[in-house]
Chains A and B, each alone.
Chain A
Amino acid sequence: MRRVLWIAAALGLGASSLHAQGVMVAPHAVYIDHRVRSGSVLLYNPGTEPVEVTISTLFGYPVTDSTGSIVLRTVDAPDSTLPSALAWIQAFPRRLTVAPLERQTVRLLARPPVGLPDGEYWVRLMIAAKAGQIPIVGVSDTTAIQVGVTLEVRTIIGITYRKGPVKTGMTLSNVRAQLLGDTLVTWSRLVRQGNAAFVGTVRGTVMDSTGATRASFATPLGVYFTMEPRIASVIGKLPKGRYWLRYEVVAEREDLDPSVILPAPAARDSVRLVVP
C-alpha cells in the first residue's frame, strides 16, 4: 500500500502590520486520478482573527493576450468541446471559518459522467477569504463622514482530473529576444501537443562567444492550448558583444510533485543577442 503524505511548507507572512490577515492555501495545484476521484486542499490561518472562507468553482485556463501577458480565460458555461470538470467536481464544505492558527481541509469529490472519455479535465477552485470588519474608531463628531474600505482576497488554483492515458508535448517556434537595459525580454510561440496540459518551465541561458554562461532565468509555466508569452527577466547589464540565448521548455517543475508532471521531450531553440 502506498499512502501519499505531504508536507506543506509555507514561507511566511511578511507582515509587520498590526492586523495582517490571510489564509494559506496548499497545494496550489491539485491533481485527481480517476481511480481515486477525490482530493483535498488545506487551509491554514496564520493570523490572529478568524477567517470566513467561501469555496466555489469555475472553469478557465491561461492564455496570452496581444502583448504576451498571461491571463486567465474563463468560460461561464463550457460546452462539450472544452475539457471541463466544472459540472462534476465539487468541494466540501463550501463555507467554513478557520480559527487563528488552525487548519482545515476542503475535500474535493469527483462524480464524472458514465462513459467519460480518457483524457485530462480542468476546473478552478476559488477560495474567498474574509477577515473581520475593520473597526472605525473616533467618530465622536456625529456630523463627520468617515470612510473605510475592507479588503477581501480570493485565491484561485487549478484542479486537474486525469482519466486513462494522457500525454502532452510542446512545439516551440518564433523565439525572439531583446535586451532592454538590465532586462532580457523574450517571446515565443508555444503549442501544446497531446491531450493534456503541458506543465513545465521555460529556461533561458545567455552565453558569450566563449560558451560561458553569463546569465540565466527560469519561469514556471502551464500551456493549456497555445500561448505566446512575453517573459521579462532582470539579468543585469551585459558588456558589449555578441551572445547566444539558449531557450528551452522542459517538463519539469520544482514546486510540484514529480509524479504529477507528465513527461515530454524538451523543446529548444537559440537566438542571437547583440549588445552594441
Chain B
Amino acid sequence: MKSGLLAAALLLALPASAVAQGGSGTFTADAVVVTVGMTIATLQDLTFGTVPKGVATTVAPAAAGAGQWEITGNPNSFVTIAFTLPTQLTNIQALPGSTMPMSFGLTSALWRRANNNPAGATPFSPALGTVGRFGPPPNPTINIWIGGTVNPAPTAKPGIYQGTVILSLTYL
C-alpha cells in the first residue's frame, strides 16, 4: 500500500564547547545526549467519498480509503494505542443538527510492526485499543490503519459530513 521511505534524519545540535584549560590540568566538556524522539505521521485520512442515502457504507482497515498512520520511535518499545472515536458526523453545510451515525467494529483497526502492508497486520477494536510495539532496528516503526462504517438515513440532507478520529500513543 505504501512504499518508499522518506528517511528524515534530524540533527539538532546546540552549540557545544569543550574547553581545555592549559596548565591547570582541568578539562570541561559538554555532555552530549543522544535521544530518539517519537514521530506520528498521518499518512492518509479515512475517506468514504460519496455515499448513498439509506445504505450503510463500510471502509475496511485494509482498504484504499482507510486512515493510516506511521509511528517511528524507540526500537522494540511498547506503546499503548488508544482511539477517541466519533459516534456522529456533522454536516458542515447544513443547519446545525444534521448528523450521520458512524460506528466501528471489533476489527476496524489494524497494527503492524516494521511493515507498512496491512495484509498480515493484527486486527483490534479501536474502541478498546491495544498495545503495540515498535519494530527492531533498523525499522523501529508501527503502522496503524483504521476503517469504519457510516450509515446515512434515507432522509439525510446532502452536503459534507465531517468528524475527527483521535489516535493517542503512550510511551510505556
The residues of A with any CB-CB pair to B shorter than 8 Å are: 1-17, 19-29, 42, 44, 46-47, 60, 62, 69-72, 103, 124, 126, 128-129, 131, 133-134, 136, 139, 141-158, 217-222, 254-257, 259
Interface string of B54-91 (1 = CB under 8 A from A): 00010000000001111011111110100000100100
Q: Which chain B residue has the least Cβ–Cβ distance from A153?
A: B40
Given contacts A14-B2, A144-B158, A154-B169, contact A9 B36 (CB under 8 A): yes
Q: A3-B31, A146-B159, A151-B46 known; 16 other A-B pairs, CB under 8 Å?
A: A8-B10, A15-B4, A20-B70, A26-B37, A28-B37, A128-B166, A148-B47, A149-B163, A149-B164, A151-B164, A152-B164, A152-B166, A153-B40, A157-B38, A218-B76, A222-B172
Q: Which chain A residue has the least Cβ–Cβ distance from B50?
A: A144
- Min C-beta distance of B20 to chain A, whole Å: 14
Given contacts A17-B2, A255-B35, contact A12 B161 (CB under 8 A): no
> How far apart sit A147 and B73, CA to CA, in the bound complex (Å)?
32
> How far apart sit A196 and B36, CA to CA, in the bound complex (Å)?
23
- A28 contacts B171, C-beta separation under 8 Å: yes
Number of A-B contacts (CB under 8 A): 285
Given contacts A10-B36, A71-B80, A255-B77, contact A152 B5 (CB under 8 A): no
Interface string of B26-57 (1 = CB under 8 A from A): 00101111111111111111111111110001
- B72 contacts A11, C-beta separation under 8 Å: yes
- Residues of chain B contacted by A2 (CB below 8 angstroms): 28, 30-31
- B39 contacts A22, C-beta separation under 8 Å: yes
**Number of residues on chain B facing chain A (CB within 8 A):** 83
Q: Which chain A residue has the least Cβ–Cβ distance from B70?
A: A14
Which one of B17, B37, B67, B148 has the greatest number of beta carbons of chain A within 10 Å? B37
- At the interface, is chain A mostly helix, strand, loop or mixed? strand
Q: List 24 A-B contacts (CB under 8 A).
A: A3-B30, A6-B14, A6-B34, A6-B35, A7-B13, A10-B36, A12-B7, A14-B2, A14-B72, A15-B70, A17-B2, A24-B38, A27-B35, A126-B168, A134-B47, A145-B50, A147-B150, A147-B162, A148-B160, A149-B102, A152-B167, A154-B166, A154-B167, A256-B35
Q: Which chain A residue has the least Cβ–Cβ distance from B93?
A: A139
- Residues of chain A contacted by B150 (CB below 8 angstroms): 147
Q: Which chain A residue has the least Cβ–Cβ distance from B15?
A: A5
Which one of A3, A9, A139, A147 has the greatest number of beta carbons of chain B within 10 Å? A147
Which one of A17, A27, A29, A60 has the greatest number of beta carbons of chain B within 10 Å? A17
Q: Which chain B residue has the least Cβ–Cβ distance from A260?
A: B33
